[in-house]
Amino acid sequence: MPSTTPLAATRTPADPFPPSQLDVADALTVLLRATTTEPRPDIQLEALTLAVAADLPVLLWGEPGIGKTAALAQLSEALDLPLTTVIASVHEPSDFSGLPIVGDDPATQGIPMAPPDWAVRLVRAGRGLLFLDELSTAPPAVQAALLRLVLERRVGSLRLPSGVRIVAAANPRASAADGWELSPPLANRFVHLQWVHDHEVVVRGLGGIWPRAVMPTLAPERLAQSVDFARRAVCGLLSTRPALVHRIPSDESRRGGAWPSPRSWEAALRLIAFASAAGSSRDVLSMLVRGTVGDGPGLELLASLDRMDLPDPETLLADPAGAVLPERGDLRQAVLDGVVAAVRNRPERSRWDAAWALLVRASETGAPDLVVVPATTLATLRREDWDVPESIDRLAGVVALSRRADRAAARTGAAAATEGAGR
C-alpha cells in the first residue's frame, strides 16, 4: 500500500533523492499537530464564548503555559473568525493611538494618526478576533493607549468594525516577566475570567482531542424576556444596595481586576441577558458575573437572581396542597421565611392555617430541620381566638427534637470550652 504519511506527499516516483532528515522531522511535526475536537462540557470555554457573543472585551488570567493562547486559536477556528495576535508588551503607545503623518496641508487638513498594519487588515476583513497577549507586561503608558482601543474600538483614525471581537490574556504579576498591575480604568473595561487547567481536558487533548468551542444558541422567543429579567435583577439589587453602584477597591492588586462601576454593571446586565437567552448553567453565569463586578457584588447578584425565581408567598398560601417548594435548602428556607413574613404582614386565621399546612408539606418533602425557625415564628403569630390546627401535632416532634439537639450541642460546646480553660 502507498504511504499516507505527510512525508510521502512531498515525494514523487521520479524523485531520485531520498528525503533529508529535516524533511522527516517536519513530517513528524505535522503528525503531532494533527488534532481534532469534540463537543464536551467546558465551563471556562462556554463562559468565554458567551462573553465573545455578547461583544464584551474578555481578559483571561492564568499562569504561563496554562493554554490561554491555544484556547484562543481554537476559538477563532470554531467561530470562523480570523485571529490577529498583538503582543501588547512589545509595542509602543503610538502603535495603538496611531502615528502622526503630515499631509499636504496640515494647517487645514490636520495631522491624521496612521493606524498599524494589523488594524488595517482587520478593517479590510470586516471581522476577526483580536488577541491582545501579555497584557500584564505592558507598561502603564501602553495600557493608557489601549483604553480607547478596548472601549471604543478605535486605533488611530480607524474604527474597528462591529464584527471584530477583543480578547486579552495576562499572567498574574508574580509570574509575569517584568509584570505590572493593570490600571483601574483598563481593568474595568474587561470581563475577567480565571483560566485554570482541567486535568481531563489536558490529558484528552494531548491524546489528540480537544473540547470544541460552540457559539451559544440564543432562543429568539426568549430575547425580550431575557432582557427584562436581566434589568430587574441588576436594578433590583442596586436599588436596595446603592453602595454597590461604584466601589473601587483600595488594594492596588484588586483594582487591576473586576470591580463594580456603572460600566461593569451594564456589562453584567448584558451577560445575564445572554446567559438567560442561551439557557446557560448557573456555574457559567457565576463565572461571568463575578468576573465583571467582582466576587462580593457578584455573589450578591447571584443570590438576588435566586430570589427572583422563588414562588410568590401569596400563591403558596392560596394553594398549600399544590405548592411546589425549591429543592435547595437555602432557597426552601427563604420561601418558608417569606410565607411567615406574609402572614405577619396580614394576619388572618385562614392564612395562618395555610402556612402551617405549607410547613408540614416542607417537612415531608425535604429536610425537617428547615421548618423549625419558621414554625417557631409562626406560632408566635397566633391570636387568642384561633384554634390550634391539627397539623401542628405533626411538626411538634420535629421542633422538639431540634431544640434538644441545639441544647445538646450547647452543652457539648460549653464542656469543651471548660476543659480547654482548665488545661
**Average pLDDT estimate for 347-360:** 89
pLDDT at 1 over 50: no
User: What's the CATH code, domain 37-99+112-211?
Assistant: 3.40.50.300
What confidence category does residue 419 fall into, taking pLDDT thresholds of 50, 70 and 90?
A: low
Q: Please report the DSSP string for 86-117 in residue order.
A: EEGGGS-THHHH-EE---S-HHHH---EEPPH
Q: Are 374 and 336 in contact (CB under 8 A)?
A: yes
Q: What are the tens digits of pLDDT across the range 53-98?
A: 999 999 999 888 888 888 888 888 888 899 999 998 888 888 888 7
CA 175/CA 269 separation, integer angstroms = 33
pLDDT at 404 over 60: no
Residue 75 has a CB neighbour count (10 Å cut-off) of 22
Q: Where are the domains of the chain?
A: 37-99+112-211, 220-308, 313-416
Q: What are the tens digits of pLDDT across the range 243-270?
A: 999 999 988 888 999 999 999 999 999 9
- Which grid cell sits at 27? 513530517
Supply the pLDDT for residue 189: 94
Helix (H, G, I), strand (E, B) or coil at 131: strand
Q: What is the mean pLDDT of the chain?
A: 84
**Average pLDDT estimate for 143-156:** 89
pLDDT at 406 over 50: no
Q: Are 60 and 195 in contact (CB under 8 A)?
A: yes
User: b vs e for 212-223, b when ≥16 Cβ sit within 10 Å of the residue's Cβ?
Assistant: bbeebebeeeee
Task: Name the residue with higher pLDDT: 24 or 372.
Answer: 24
